[in-house]
C-alpha cells in the first residue's frame, strides 16, 4: 500500500498497477515531447547558420560547376590543340624518319662499297704478304744454307775465297793478280798480287778460323765467354804465325801479307775487344783486313801498279815526247812559211787593187775624151808586177 495524501493505493491490485504504468507512460511521453520541442527549437536556432552556410556552399558549388564547364571547354580546346600538335609532330617525325632511312641507306651503301674496296685491297695486301712470306721462307732457307756453309771449314774457306775473288776482280786489272799461286816453298796462296819491287808480290789469305768467334757469339755465361775468348786468341795467334811463316818469303814476296776476314763483324770484334791481336799482327807484318778495308787496300795497290807501269814506260814516253817536240817544231816552221806566203799574197792583192783603181781612172778619162791628160801620165803610172 502506498499513501498518497488521503488516498491509499493498493499496489497488489493489477488494475491499479496497470493504471499506474499507463500514467507513468503518459507522463514520460509528455516529458519526451516537451524535450523534443525544446530540442527542435534549439536545433532550429542552430540550423539557421548551417542553412546560411549551405546557401553559401550552394553558391560555391554553382561557381565550381560553372568553372567546371569552362574547364571542360578549355580541356576540349587543349585536347584539340594537342591532337593537331601530335599530328604535326608525327608528320615531322615521319619525314625525319624517311630522311634518316634514306641517309642510312646511302651511308650503308657507301660503307658497303668502301668495305668491299677495303676487302679487295686487304686481299691484295694479303697476297703481297703471302709473297713476302714465301720470299722470307726462301731467304731463311738461304740463311740456313749460308750457316751450313760457314759451319764447315772447307766450305767456309771456299766462301771466303769466292768473296775475295769478287773483291779483287772489281779492284785490280786482270794481269795484276793470280789465285792459288804456288810459291817456292810449295805453299799455295789464296791470292797473290803482283806488285813491283819494292815491296814485291803480296799474298792474301782468306781461310780465317771462325769457330772460336761463333762460340764467343753463342756464349751464355761468363765462363763460356772467357773460354771462347781464349780459344779465339789462340786461333788468331796461330793463324797470324802460319801466314807469316808460309807467305812472307825474303826475296820472293813482300815483307808483309794480308789476312782477309769475310765478315765485318769479326773485324769489328777483333779491333774492339782484342786489340792485342791486331798489334801482334802488325808486329808479324800480317795486316788484318775486312771486305771494306780490303777494297781500300786493293785500290791503293792499283795506284802503285799504275805508277810502276808508268815508270816502266818512262823511256818510251820520253821518246814519244821528243818526237812530239820535233813535230811541234815542224809545225812552227811551216806556220812561218805559210805566214810569209800570206804576206806576199796580201802585197799582191794590194798591187792588184791599185792597178784596178788606175784602170778605173783611165776608163773615166776615156769616157770624157781627155786624151792629153791620159797620154801625159801613162809612163809614170805604169808599175811592173813582181816576179816570183
Query: What are the tens digits of pLDDT across the range 311-324?
Result: 767 777 778 877 88
Binned at pLDDT 50, 70 and 90, residue 67 comes out as confident
Over residues 32-48, the mean pLDDT reads 73
Binned at pLDDT 50, 70 and 90, residue 285 comes out as very high
Instruction: Judge contact between 305 and 195, C-beta under 8 A.
Output: yes
Lowest average pLDDT, out of 54-58, 214-218, 227-231, 254-258, goes to 54-58
For 130-144, the pLDDT digits (tens) are: 787 777 777 655 544
Can you point out the beta strands (E) in the chain? 2-4, 7-9, 177-182, 188-193, 202-205, 257-260, 286-289
For 346-385, the pLDDT digits (tens) are: 888 888 888 888 887 877 777 665 555 555 544 444 445 5
Which has more confidence, 279 or 100? 279
Cα radius of gyration (the chain): 71
Instruction: Judge contact between 262 and 289, C-beta under 8 A.
Output: no
How confident is the model at residue 88, as a pLDDT?
Answer: 85
**Helix orientation angle between 264-273 and 291-312, rounded to the nearest 10 degrees:** 100
Neighbour count for residue 177 (Cβ, 10 Å): 23
Over residues 30-54, the mean pLDDT reads 73
Query: DSSP secondary-structure letter at 255?
Result: S
Instruction: Using the predicted structure, report yes or no on whether residue 154 has a pLDDT greater than 60.
Output: no
Which has more confidence, 81 or 18? 81
Residue with cell string 811551216: 334
How confident is the model at residue 139, as a pLDDT?
Answer: 67
- C-alpha angle with apex 374: 371 to 380, nearest 5 degrees? 155
Q: Which residues contact 304 (CB under 8 A, 6 or more apart)?
A: 195, 196
Question: Given strand 177-182, what is the order of strands in its sheet?
Answer: 177-182, 188-193, 202-205, 257-260, 286-289
**What's the CA gap between 108 and 117, in Å, rounded?**
14
pTM of the prediction? Answer: 0.44
How confident is the model at residue 379, as a pLDDT?
Answer: 44
Element (H, E) at 353: helix 314-367
Sign of CA dihedral 244, 250, 252, 255: positive
Nearest to 260 by CA among 188, 300, 209, 185: 209
* Maximum average pLDDT range among 82-86, 136-140, 147-151, 215-219: 215-219
Over residues 188-201, the mean pLDDT reads 86
Amino acid at each position: 500500500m502506498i499513501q498518497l495524501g488521503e488516498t491509499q493505493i493498493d499496489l497488489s491490485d493489477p488494475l491499479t498497477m496497470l493504471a499506474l504504468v499507463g500514467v507513468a507512460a503518459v507522463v514520460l511521453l509528455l516529458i519526451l515531447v516537451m524535450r523534443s520541442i525544446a530540442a527542435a527549437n534549439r536545433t532550429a536556432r542552430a540550423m539557421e547558420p548551417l542553412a546560411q552556410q549551405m546557401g553559401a556552399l550552394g553558391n560555391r558549388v554553382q561557381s565550381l560547376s560553372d568553372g567546371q564547364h569552362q574547364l571542360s571547354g578549355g580541356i576540349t580546346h587543349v585536347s584539340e590543340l594537342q591532337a593537331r600538335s601530335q599530328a604535326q609532330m608525327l608528320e615531322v617525325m615521319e619525314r625525319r624518319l624517311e630522311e634518316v632511312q634514306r641517309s642510312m641507306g646511302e651511308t650503308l651503301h657507301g660503307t658497303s662499297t668502301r668495305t668491299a674496296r677495303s676487302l679487295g685491297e686487304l686481299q691484295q695486301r694479303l697476297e703481297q704478304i703471302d709473297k713476302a712470306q714465301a720470299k722470307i721462307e726462301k731467304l731463311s732457307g738461304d740463311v740456313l744454307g749460308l750457316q751450313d756453309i760457314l759451319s764447315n771449314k772447307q766450305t767456309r774457306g771456299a766462301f771466303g775465297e769466292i768473296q775475295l775473288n769478287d773483291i779483287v776482280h772489281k779492284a785490280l786489272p786482270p794481269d795484276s793478280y793470280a789465285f792459288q799461286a804456288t810459291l817456292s816453298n810449295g805453299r799455295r796462296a789464296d791470292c797473290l798480287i803482283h806488285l813491283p819491287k819494292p815491296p814485291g808480290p803480296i799474298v792474301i789469305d782468306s781461310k780465317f778460323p771462325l769457330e772460336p768467334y761463333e762460340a764467343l757469339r753463342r756464349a751464355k755465361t761468363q765462363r763460356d765467354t772467357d773460354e771462347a775468348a781464349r780459344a779465339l786468341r789462340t786461333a788468331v795467334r796461330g793463324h797470324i804465325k802460319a801466314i807469316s811463316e808460309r807467305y812472307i818469303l825474303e826475296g820472293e814476296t813482300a815483307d808483309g801479307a794480308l789476312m782477309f776476314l769475310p765478315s765485318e763483324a769479326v773485324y769489328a770484334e777483333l779491333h774492339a775487344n782484342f786489340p792485342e791481336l791486331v798489334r801482334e799482327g802488325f808486329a808479324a807484318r800480317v795486316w788484318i783486313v775486312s771486305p771494306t778495308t780490303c777494297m781500300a787496300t786493293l785500290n791503293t795497290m792499283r795506284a802503285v801498279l799504275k805508277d810502276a807501269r808508268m815508270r816502266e814506260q818512262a823511256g818510251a814516253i820520253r821518246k814519244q815526247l821528243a818526237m812530239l817536240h820535233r813535230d811541234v817544231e815542224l809545225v812552227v816552221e811551216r806556220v812561218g812559211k805559210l805566214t810569209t806566203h800570206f804576206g806576199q799574197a796580201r802585197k799582191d792583192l794590194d798591187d792588184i787593187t791599185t792597178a784596178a783603181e788606175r784602170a778605173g781612172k783611165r776608163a773615166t778619162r776615156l769616157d770624157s775624151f781627155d786624151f792629153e791628160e791620159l797620154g801625159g801620165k801613162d809612163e809614170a803610172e805604169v808599175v811592173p808586177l813582181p816576179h816570183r
